[in-house]
Amino acid sequence: MNSLDIIRMGLKNLWRRKLRTFLTILGVVIGTSSIITMLSLGFGMSYSFKQSISEMGSLNTITVMENYDMGNRGGAISQKKVYLDDDALKTLKDIKGVEAVTPVMDMNMKLNTGKYTAHINLRGVDPKSMEAFDYKIEEGRLLKTGDSYNMVFGGAVKRFFYDEKRIRGPYKEPNIKPLKDKFTMSFNVYDDKGQPKGGKPMKINVVGVLKEGDYEKDSYVYMSISEIEKLKKEQQKLEGSKGRQNTNKNKYQQILVKVKDMNEVADIQKQIKDLGYNAFSLNDFLDSLKKTAGTIQAVLGGIGAVSLLVAALGITNTMIMSIYERTREIGVMKVIGAQLRDIKRIFLFEAGTIGLSGGFLGIALSYGLSFIINFLGRNVNMLGGPGSGNTKLSIIPMWLVFAALAFTTLVGVISGFYPAKRATKLSALEAIKTE
């Protein structure tokens, strides 16, 4: 018998017992859709975690701080205390895989424009590194080297302004035009009576506004770090003898390190810790969430696998029942000269067809369920808070589709192996006598 004869005979046998074939395929459909949908929830969970965390800041950025507990950190223990200074900048930039480095210095200031006031977090950065650290401009431009009293607003800063004379009442967003309005800036310094002594207000220019959406950058106002250093000295003069004595040997409060490849963040972070610094990245949080998602995915996949196992038993049962019903037919085939391997191939083809058909329909059902889940959960944020409106709780990667098809077909063939082997062992004479 050639392959075409086997295919034609197998399909004819399946069609002859339409109801039983349909019910067996239905079992495979349920099992396939269960395992795909369960796994897709795990993939969707990992994706949602990554998306939510990336909105907090860059996953390629490492924040370097002073290590206050030298004796208890992991890795090689350095006996020499290290500080956040220019030497640290050079050392960190020389690490293989580092794309850019910028020092960070923060201070609280007060901004005024017309009748509006805002208390802001002023952050000093290296203007040359802003593009490398993914500061995306909405209007205007980023900082340039040599900018004096020029600043860039984070995406949410405009909403920080308020009318001091109308604090009470419903909130009304101020009509602020950063690139057109005139701004003055003063220090948040007060005397013993609580009266401000911020010195003479400084005229400043807003040269750009960042795109909103990056929580890490939205709430800061950015200036060149060289200007921040000057402002720090002026603030200390205003505070006078009652100002805190600066005994800190760190020139900068933080150093940000941009890594070229996200896969190298963990390794570079370990190297930085081994140098004696404390280092943190959002990948620390993401790795923990991925482990949780992986555990949940394994449990959900196990539940789906049970359904597919039940479907495999259904295929085996269907093929064994088919042997009992077709005993005489098998005997006739043997008598007229059909080879044992051909009889075996017919049964394996039927079982594989059931598995493949169930796989196709199960995948189609999985996509339907995935669409419904994503539609109902589009506003869900896996880390809490408002959703973005395009959250994907269920993701079916293409490799999973092909793997499911191959797996269900293989399950069908394996499930039909025992019945096929049993059919070949039937005695031809005994089979013919069977009514």
Instruction: Supply 223's token pair.
Output: 């200036």
Distance (Å) of CA 291 to CA 43, 47, 98, 295, 397: 12, 13, 26, 6, 19
User: Which pair of structure tokens corresponds to residue 109?
Assistant: 């200031």
Q: pLDDT 10s per residue in the chain (435 long)?
A: 667 877 887 788 778 788 888 888 888 888 888 888 888 888 887 777 776 665 555 778 899 988 876 544 444 444 567 889 889 999 999 999 999 999 999 999 999 998 899 999 999 999 999 988 889 999 999 999 888 889 999 999 988 898 877 766 566 778 889 999 999 998 887 766 666 666 688 999 999 999 987 778 889 999 999 999 999 888 888 777 544 445 567 889 999 999 988 788 888 989 998 888 888 887 777 677 777 777 877 887 787 778 778 777 777 777 777 766 666 666 667 667 667 777 778 878 888 888 889 889 999 999 999 999 888 877 665 555 445 556 678 889 898 899 888 888 888 888 877 777 776 776 665 656 555
Please check whether residue 382 is in contact with residue 296, taking contact to mean a CB–CB distance below 8 angstroms.
Answer: no
* pLDDT for the residue 203: 92
pLDDT at 205: 92
pTM: 0.62
- The domain segmentation of the chain, as residue ranges, is 3-55+287-433, 99-256
Local structure of residue 383 (DSSP, 8 states): T
What is residue 171's three-state secondary structure?
Answer: coil
CA dist 337 and 79 (Å) reads 87
Q: Please tell me the predicted confidence (pLDDT) of residue 434.
A: 54
- At 79, is the secondary structure helix, strand, or coil? coil
For residues 144 and 131, is the Cβ–Cβ distance under 8 A? no
The residue written with tokens 């590194």 in the block is 129
Q: Burial of 226 by CB count in 10 Å (0-12 exposed, 13-18 middle, 19+ buried)? A: middle
204-232 residue pLDDT tens: 999 999 998 777 888 999 999 999 999 98
Antiparallel, parallel or unpaired: β 278-281 and 150-153: unpaired
Write a three-state SS string for 272-323: HHHCCCEEEEHHHHHHHHHHHHHHHHHHHHHHHHHHHHHHHHHHHHHHHHHH
The confidence score (pLDDT) of residue 342 equals 75
Radius of gyration for the alpha carbons in the chain, expressed in angstroms and rounded: 35
Residues 301 and 38 sit within 8 Å (Cβ to Cβ): yes
73-99 residues labelled b (16+ CB within 10 A) or e (exposed): beeeeeeeebebeeebbebbeebeebe
Q: What is the pLDDT of residue 209?
A: 94
Write the CB contacts of 110 (distance below 8 Å, at least 6 apart in sequence).
117, 118, 119, 120, 185, 186, 187, 188, 198
Please state, as a whole number, how many other Cβ atoms lie within 10 Å of the Cβ of residue 395: 18
Sign of CA dihedral 106, 108, 113, 116: positive
Furthest CA-CA distance within the chain = 114
Q: CB neighbours (10 Å) of residue 302?
A: 11
CA distance 85 to 282: 24
For strands 98-113 and 116-125, give the pairing.
Answer: antiparallel
